[in-house]
């Protein structure tokens, strides 16, 4: 597209807010009751990383990898690609991220570094808790129906947020694990902003805070 | 002769595979044809809008009144394949109008489209732009190419084209399709809290949608406007602009002044 920089995100929004949220409704209806398994997986990750003295790498990473693969196929490829010309590319990016995340499980347990403590740990746990336990309620609190809830492992935003939290909690997550979650956070924030969704700032805000904390973590 | 109100599909018809939303789009198309509408416009850039239009046309028994307006939006070499894919989505034997979307690679596309027209596989050829971009290039093409149509953005707030392009198109006999007559809904939203002036009745406007559309289609260079909607109630409002009196030059000036005063 020529002069693409002169377009605002609102000019580029390809679909209506109604269509965007209906996509989650159709998605949830098609996958129910997979939500229970996804929620159990999210809680399992939370419990694993909360327990001190346990090296949660492989299991937590396996669950997150499964979540990224599930979102790549069942949401981005099957649903989102029907309303966004870049949907298939995004699905491929999520699959690539799933492959990259597999390394975190190995690296986590082999790392000689101690897991982060203090503010970084609290932020990581906070973001992970938000993604798994709070985000599904956000749409309802904003007046959208339950049927359009966004659930970790099934919808991209909570899956990305949970991953950002997990990366913060790892002793040291390789730099290449960050770009795709950050790119999605930016894209999602712009999409929600263009749709005038009041929660547009949440995911980009969490991602930016996580990057700042990660930089601080690496400098120590 | 085309009715002055057509039907756009940007954003509103991109509903994916949602069966409920697709049927709502069919209801809009049914209402459009029932009120004398003809021109439906879409693009390969509009996600699932093309297959949704094709679905609607099948459901409605392929209305004979249809004036199919499409676009080519790809690198030059891929143009013929894209046009064919678009034709299959619509389920039509050929298009009435094919436009080069946002002038993308027009040097490659326009000669092919003129060839199609000469061979009887296309009735009209055009180019499009939006949001006031590349207007000077559109002007050059209007002067240098045998275009039948140009599609541009024009509304009560964005009136820069009145200075050169619209008079040029009128002088050259090039038909003008206007996209974004409501500036993607922003104008309707911003005007909703203001009262419609009493004198709007002089041009048979019952709501802001008709006020905005009548301003656009009353410009002597404009052939039709293509507001997009996914709601039958909004379609009914829009199609109302194709009926009744249109503003003359003095009343158009009054509309501009009133809008500026809000």
Per-residue model confidence as pLDDT tens digits over A109-159: 666 666 677 888 999 999 999 999 999 999 999 999 999 999 999 999 999
> Which one of B10, B12, B16 would you mutate to disrupt binding with A, by most A Cβ within 10 Å of its Cβ?
B16
Provide, as residue numbers in chain B, all residues whose Cβ is less than 8 Å from the Cβ of A10. 184
Distance CA A214, CA A197 (A): 28
pLDDT given for residue A105 in this prediction:
67
pLDDT given for residue B76 in this prediction:
85
pLDDT given for residue A60 in this prediction:
85
pLDDT given for residue A58 in this prediction:
80
Please tell me which residue of chain B has the smallest CA distance to A25. Answer: B18
Provide, as residue numbers in chain B, all residues whose Cβ is less than 8 Å from the Cβ of A19. 14-16, 18, 21
Distance CA B149, CA B128 (A): 9
Give the CB-side neighbour count of residue A138, counting CA atoms within 13 A. 20
Confidence of residue B181 (pLDDT cuts 50, 70, 90): very high
**Does the pLDDT of residue A2 top 60, yes or no?**
no
Q: Higher model confidence: residue A59 or residue A130?
A: A130
**In 3-state terms, chain B is what percent helix, strand and coil (to 5)?**
45, 15, 40
pLDDT given for residue A196 in this prediction:
93
Confidence of residue A52 (pLDDT cuts 50, 70, 90): low
Provide, as residue numbers in chain B, all residues whose Cβ is less than 8 Å from the Cβ of A85. 45, 47
Please tell me which residue of chain A has the smallest CA distance to B133. Answer: A3
Chain A interface includes B11 (CB < 8 A): yes
Q: What is the ipTM of this complex?
A: 0.88
Provide, as residue numbers in chain B, all residues whose Cβ is less than 8 Å from the Cβ of A9. none
Average pLDDT over residues B151-171: 96
pLDDT given for residue A114 in this prediction:
64
Provide, as residue numbers in chain A, all residues whose Cβ is less than 8 Å from the Cβ of B21. 18-19, 22
**Does the pLDDT of residue A92 top 70, yes or no?**
yes
Distance of CA B207 to the CA centre of its chain: 20
Q: Are A1 and B15 an interchain contact pair (Cβ–Cβ within 8 Å)?
A: no
Give the C-alpha distances (Å, rounded to integers) separating B203 from B179, B210, B251: 22, 9, 9
Provide, as residue numbers in chain B, all residues whose Cβ is less than 8 Å from the Cβ of A79. 16
**Does the pLDDT of residue A97 top 80, yes or no?**
yes
Confidence of residue B120 (pLDDT cuts 50, 70, 90): very high
Nearest to A19 among B16, B46, B103 (CB): B16
> Which one of A1, A15, A77 would you mutate to disrupt binding with B, by most B Cβ within 10 Å of its Cβ?
A15
Distance CA A168, CA B197 (A): 58
Q: Which residues contact A151 (CB under 8 A, 6 or more apart)?
A: A28, A35, A38, A39, A135, A136, A158
Confidence of residue B211 (pLDDT cuts 50, 70, 90): very high
pLDDT given for residue A109 in this prediction:
62
Q: Which residues of chain B from 103 to 162 reach within 8 Å of chain A, CB to CB?
A: 103-104, 131, 133-134
Average pLDDT over residues B150-156: 96
Nearest to A82 among B16, B103, B131 (CB): B16
**Does the pLDDT of residue B6 top 80, yes or no?**
yes
Would you call the peptide bond into A33 cis, given omega within 30 degrees of 0 as the criterion?
yes
Average pLDDT over residues B39-45: 97
From B11's Cα to the closest Cα of chain A, the distance in A is 4
Q: Which residue, chain included where needed, has tokens 């950050």? A: A182
Average pLDDT over residues A91-116: 79
How high does pLDDT run on average in chain B?
Answer: 96
Q: Which residues of A touch B (CB under 8 A)?
A: 1-3, 6-7, 10-11, 13-16, 18-19, 22-23, 26, 79, 82-85
Total CB pairs under 8 A between chain A and B: 56
pLDDT given for residue A21 in this prediction:
97
pLDDT given for residue A4 in this prediction:
65
Of all residues in chain A, what percent carry a pLDDT higher than 90? 71
Q: Are B104 and A26 an interchain contact pair (Cβ–Cβ within 8 Å)?
A: no
Give the C-alpha distances (Å, rounded to integers) separating B151 from A150, B99, B181: 39, 8, 12
Confidence of residue B42 (pLDDT cuts 50, 70, 90): very high
**Does the pLDDT of residue B123 top 70, yes or no?**
yes
Q: Are B230 and A84 an interchain contact pair (Cβ–Cβ within 8 Å)?
A: no
Q: Which residues of chain B from 27 to 46 reach within 8 Å of chain A, CB to CB?
A: 45-46
Give the CB-side neighbour count of residue A122, counting CA atoms within 13 A. 2
Least confident of A39-53, A86-100, B222-236, B245-259: A39-53
Average pLDDT over residues B18-43: 97
What is the tens place of the pLDDT at every residue in B67-95? 999 999 999 899 999 999 999 999 999 99
Provide, as residue numbers in chain A, all residues whose Cβ is less than 8 Å from the Cβ of B230. 16, 18
Chain A interface includes B55 (CB < 8 A): no
> Which one of B28, B47, B184 would you mutate to disrupt binding with A, by most A Cβ within 10 Å of its Cβ?
B47
pLDDT given for residue A44 in this prediction:
93
Nearest to A83 among B14, B103, B230 (CB): B14
This prediction has a pTM of: 0.91
From B14's Cα to the closest Cα of chain A, the distance in A is 6
Cβ distance A17 to A140 under 8 Å?
no
Nearest to B14 among A7, A15, A26 (CB): A15
**Does the pLDDT of residue A54 top 70, yes or no?**
no
Chain A interface includes B102 (CB < 8 A): yes
Q: Are B17 and A15 an interchain contact pair (Cβ–Cβ within 8 Å)?
A: no
Q: Which residues contact B23 (CB under 8 A, 6 or more apart)?
A: none
């Amino acid at each position: 597209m020529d002069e693409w920089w002169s377009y605002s995100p609102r000019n580029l929004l390809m679909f209506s807010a109604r269509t965007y949220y209906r996509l989650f409704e159709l998605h949830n209806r098609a996958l129910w009751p997979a939500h229970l398994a996804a929620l159990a997986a999210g809680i399992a990750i939370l419990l694993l990383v909360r327990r001190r003295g346990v090296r949660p790498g492989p299991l937590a990473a396996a669950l997150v990898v499964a979540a990224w693969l599930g979102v790549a196929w069942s949401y981005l490829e099957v649903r989102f690609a029907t309303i966004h010309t870049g949907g298939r590319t995004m699905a491929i990016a999520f699959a690539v991220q799933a492959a990259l995340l597999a390394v975190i499980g190995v690296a986590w347990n082999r790392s000689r570094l101690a897991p982060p403590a203090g503010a970084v740990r609290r932020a990581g746990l906070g973001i992970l808790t938000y993604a798994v336990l709070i985000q599904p309620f956000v749409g309802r609190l904003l007046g959208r129906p339950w049927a359009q809830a966004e659930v970790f492992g099934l919808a991209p935003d909570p899956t990305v947020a949970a991953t950002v939290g997990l990366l913060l909690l790892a002793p040291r997550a390789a730099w290449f694990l960050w770009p795709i979650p950050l790119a999605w956070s930016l894209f999602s924030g712009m999409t929600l902003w263009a749709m005038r969704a009041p929660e547009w700032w949440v995911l980009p805000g969490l991602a930016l805070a996580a990057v700042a904390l990660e930089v601080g973590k690496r400098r120590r | 002769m085309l009715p002055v109100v057509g039907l756009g599909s940007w954003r509103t018809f991109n509903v994916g595979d949602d069966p409920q939303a697709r049927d709502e789009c069919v209801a809009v198309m049914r209402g459009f044809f029932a009120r004398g509408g003809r021109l439906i416009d879409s693009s390969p850039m509009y996600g699932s809008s093309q297959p949704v239009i094709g679905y609607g046309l099948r459901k409605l028994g392929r209305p004979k009144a249809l004036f199919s307006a499409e676009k080519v939006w790809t690198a030059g070499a891929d143009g013929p394949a894209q046009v064919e894919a678009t034709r299959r989505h619509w389920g039509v034997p050929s298009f009435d109008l094919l436009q080069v979307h946002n002038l993308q690679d027009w040097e490659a596309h326009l000669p092919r489209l003129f060839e199609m027209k000469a061979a009887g596989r296309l009735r009209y050829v055009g180019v499009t732009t939006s949001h006031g971009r590349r207007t000077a290039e559109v002007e050059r093409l209007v002067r240098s190419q045998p275009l039948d149509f140009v599609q541009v953005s024009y509304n009560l707030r964005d009136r820069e084209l009145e200075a050169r392009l619209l008079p040029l198109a009128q002088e050259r006999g090039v038909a003008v399709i206007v996209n974004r007559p409501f500036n993607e809904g922003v104008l309707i939203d911003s005007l909703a809290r203001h009262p419609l002036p009493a004198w709007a009745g002089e041009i048979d406007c019952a709501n802001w949608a008709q006020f905005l559309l009548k301003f656009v289609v009353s410009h002597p260079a404009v052939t039709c406007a293509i507001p997009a909607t996914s709601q039958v109630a909004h379609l009914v409002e829009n199609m109302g602009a194709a009926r009744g009196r249109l503003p003359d030059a003095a009343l158009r000036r009054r509309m501009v002044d009133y809008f500026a005063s809000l």
